[in-house]
Amino acid sequence: MKRASLGVLALAAALAPYGAAPAMAADLPPLAPKAPAMAPVPTPSWYGFFVGVQGGYAWGDDSVETSTATGIYAPELGVTIPFTIAGEPKGGVVGVRWGTNWQSGPLVLGTLSDFSWTDIRSSETLTLTAPGLTRANTAEQHLEWFGTSRVRAGYLITPNLLLYGSGGFASGSMEVTVANTAVGVPCGVAGACPRGTDDTFRYGWAAGVGAEYQVGNWSLSLDYIHYDLGNFNFAYTDGISPDFLIASTRFSGEMVRGAINYRFDWTPWDLVAGRRP
């Protein structure tokens, strides 16, 4: 019996690799399926050409100044004719914007241009009296339209939020009207009714900061700039007297505009080169 038992054990050990192991493996619980690899979340692209509509508000500090008066007007300057009038222009702005972005990681570089119709203006009537003479002085300054062409550089605080700075050229069309009318004196009298109106186109500069939040190809932006179109001055008289006055003002101020933009996944340079990214 002892020899028989030993033989059975030896046989079982010999057959274990062929029969016993598969039987034991069959008794083990199945392995849990391997979880699929998570696909990386795509980083939003800012590359491309964009267009948008914008609106906002602007304000400034400059007045219409009478800086020079000759002949019969000289003693009245600062007495019945004010040195400054119609200051602190302000008003609404509405227009369009467009530009191009190039992206390198979190850095976004590009161009930004805009054109706006504006109602930035100031008007005032000021009556001044001296012995023997009273004048009703009126003036108005008006920035009629405004545009910029700027470069901008920004950094992505998050993949969807861009903070940027910008700077470049600005331009605009402006008009100034001024009159210094002697109350109760006919305009046929020399020096009684000097008045003048002039308009001009000016170049200058603009610089500022902004933020833009993008979802897909759409974005919302808020843009602040300081602009300066320089000085504008002109001479005027009453058409009878050879003497004259010179009115001047500076068209500069602050402007804040919000915009809705749509970005295309190509730039004009891609179209010129016949390729799409």
Residue 174 lies in a domain: yes
76: domain CATH number is 2.40.160
29: confidence class by pLDDT, cuts 50, 70, 90: low
Residue 241 lies in a domain: yes
Judged against a pLDDT cut of 80, whether residue 30 lies above it is answered with: no
Tally of CB atoms within 10 A around 1: 5
The identity of residue 195, as a single letter, is R
Per-residue CA distances from 72 to 92, 189, 192 (Å): 40, 12, 10
Residue 43 lies in a domain: no
Task: State pLDDT tens for residues 209-266.
Answer: 999 999 999 999 999 999 999 999 999 999 999 999 999 999 999 999 999 999 999 9
Question: pTM of whole model > 0.85?
Answer: no
Q: In the block, which residue shows the tokens 């010179």? A: 246
Residue 126 lies in a domain: yes
Res 40: pLDDT: 54
Return d(Cα 74, Cα 137) in angstroms, integer: 15
Task: State pLDDT tens for residues 123-157.
Answer: 999 999 999 999 999 999 999 999 999 999 999 99
Nearest to 119 by CA among 178, 167, 173: 173
Domain that holds residue 267: 48-273
Residue 130 lies in a domain: yes
To the nearest 10°, the Cα dihedral for 81, 136, 174, 166? 70
Res 271: pLDDT: 80
Residue 1 lies in a domain: no
Residue 37 lies in a domain: no
Tokens of residue 217, six digits: 């190809």
Residue 61 lies in a domain: yes
270: confidence class by pLDDT, cuts 50, 70, 90: confident
Task: Compute the Cα dihedral for 54, 55, 56, 58 and give only its sign.
Answer: positive
Return d(Cα 20, Cα 30) in angstroms, integer: 18
Bridge partners (DSSP) listed for residue 111? 100, 151
What would the mean pLDDT of 29-57 be, rounded to a whole number? 77
Count of the separate structural domains present in the chain: 1
Tally of CB atoms within 10 A around 167: 18
